Each structure stands twice: as C-alpha cells, then as structure tokens.
Copies of this chain bind each other. A is one copy, B any other.
Amino acid sequence: MQSKIINTTTATKRPAFDWRNYIVYIAFIGVFITFSITLYDYGFLSTNNLLNIVRQTAMISIMAVAVTFVISTAEIDLSVGSIAALSSLTAALAIQSFGTVGGILAGLGTGAIIGLINGLLVTKVLIPSFLVTLGMMIIVKGIAMWITGTAPVPILNDAFIFLFGSGSLGPIPMLFVWTILIAVIGHIVLRKTTFGRQTLATGGNESAARFSGINTARVKLIALVSSGMMAGFAGMLYAGRLEAGRFTFGEGAELSVIAAVILGGTSLFGGVGTVVGTIFGSILIGTINNGLIIMGLDVSQQMMVSGLIIILAVAFGRKAKKR
C-alpha cells in the first residue's frame, strides 16, 4: 500500500518522574530531620549515635540486600533469621578449633548450604518458597538450639571480633564497611549485570522469562543461595559484635528484613527491585527505633509510633501505584 499513509505510532516519549517511587528516601529524610531537630539535645546527631544506627542496622541491611534478589524473583526467604543464629554458632565453634578463617568458612558455608537446600526444594521439588523457608526457619532454629544445647559459645578471637564486630577502618566501623560493600555489590549486580536483569525478568513473568531462554530455576537457586549466605554473614556479624554465638540471634529478623525490602520499593510480587531502596528501608526502620528509644518512649509507645510511621511513610507515596 502507499507508504505515505504509514504514520509513526507514538507513545509518551519519556517515562515521567514520579516522586512516589522515591518515598523511602523522602520518608528517611523527613524522619531524620524531625529527629535531628527534636532530639538534638539528646545527642541524636552525635557521630557516635549515627554510627550506632549504622551498626545496629548492619545485619538487617546485609540480609535485606540478598533478600531483595529473592523477592525480585517473586519468591521469599523466611529462614534468614534462623540461619544467622545457626551461623553465629557454627562460626563460633569453628573459631575455637580452626581460627578466624575456619570461622568465616563455617559461617558463610552454613548459610550457603541451607540456602542451597532451600533453593533446590523450591526449584527442583517445586514447593512454594514460603513453605520451604518457613519449614527451614523452624528446622534451623531447632538445630541451632540443639548443637550446643542452647548454650552460647563465646568468641575470644580478636581478629574475628575486629573484622566482624567492633573493629573500624579509620573512623569507619567495620560493620559499616561491610554494609556498604554488600550494598554496592548488590546494587551493581541487580542494575548492571545480566544476572540482575534475569532476576527481574524471572519475577516479572516467569514463563515469559523462560520463553526468552532464561534459566529461571537457576536464577532462583542463586538468589536463595546468596540469601542464605548473606544470612550466614549476618550471623558472623552478630557473633563478632556480641563476641559469642547464640541461638537467639536474628530472632524475628525475617520480618524486619522483608519490611526493609518492601519499604524500599521492591515488589512482593516480583519483577521490581532496588537495592538502594532496601538499604534506605533498613536504615529508616533503624533510625525510627533509635530515635524513639532516645526520646525515652517505653516499649509500647515505641511500637505504636514506629508502626504508624511505617504506614504513613508508605501512605504518602502510594496513591498512584497499585502494588
């Protein structure tokens, strides 16, 4: 037919900027400024307190970076808290016999192996990850209680404690160094590599991703193994910071981790993920907790206010989006 009647088909040229996608940053800035003003006299802004926030959120942040990948593939990992507990113990035990390196290998290895089991059950046996990791959370917690009969295992190795606990690089606490390191790696992997793309595609529409030749099972497996391994890493940080392994470490952490991830803007239904958002989600929660404690609220008041802030933070942002 006559080529002149063929017009171009146009849609909006550029994706519009939507501040609602940045709600976690806005909420963080809002909360931070509020506390800086109201709690100035209480030392909220002191270097030490700011470092406290960073230190206190390090474990959640690091687990949350890996869980961002898991959730981006539309799966979930509820076992991270238990893994952290068990890894703190295996690391502490290994340190006694094999020193620092042994401790590190044991901590990470424990996490990676459990993550691998999770991953295989999800991708090969096709059990929903919610059930796999819920079951695993219970099993691993049981193992953590069992291996030392609930007794804590002290850590006396200074190198380990320096690296994963109280050490600092110049003025920067090691815990912060680790957080930044993991966050940067996570961000780059998710945004700049094929694997990141494959992760988002798998979560966005698994069958379409498979049609495109993506090995979605492999993607999920890797995400779950990483998440196990990062939980193991967090376990080492708990251990380093409190100079002991203990089965209660990380208790309930899975909910904080998922909250940080979702608050950051990753979709629980997969396909959309952001590591930077996750880190801010985690720090937002940590800052709220810190500020409210400094304010001198008792536990019940802290809970009421922090729950409210979380809901409000998102309420302001979500008007447009459905999920």
Q: Which of B121, B146, B299, B307 contacts A135, CB < 8 Å? A: B307
Q: Decide: A121 and B300 in contact? CB cutoff 8 A.
A: no
Chain B residues with CB under 8 Å of A145's CB are 299-300, 303
In the complex, what residues of B have CB within 8 A of residue A135's CB? 307-308, 310-311
Tell me whether chain A's interface is mostly helix, strand or loop, or mixed. helix
Shortest distance from the beta carbon of A110 to any chain B beta carbon, whole Å: 15
Residues of B within 8 A of A132 (CB): 311, 314
Verify if A167 is at the interface (C-beta below 8 Å from B): no
The residue from B78, B150, B307 contacting A142, defined by CB atoms under 8 A apart? B307
A301 at the interface (CB under 8 A from B): yes
Task: Tell me the bound Cα distance from A131 to B135 in angstroms.
Answer: 23
Q: Which residues from B are CB-within-8-Å of A269? A: 269
Q: Is A248's CB within 8 Å of the partner chain B?
A: no
Known: A126-B319, A126-B321, A128-B323. A142 touches B311 (CB 8 A): no
Query: Can you sample 27 A-B contacts with CB below 8 Å?
Result: A78-B255, A121-B311, A125-B319, A126-B322, A127-B311, A128-B318, A128-B323, A130-B258, A131-B311, A132-B311, A134-B259, A135-B307, A136-B311, A137-B307, A138-B307, A138-B310, A139-B307, A142-B300, A142-B301, A142-B302, A142-B305, A144-B300, A145-B299, A145-B300, A146-B300, A150-B300, A206-B322
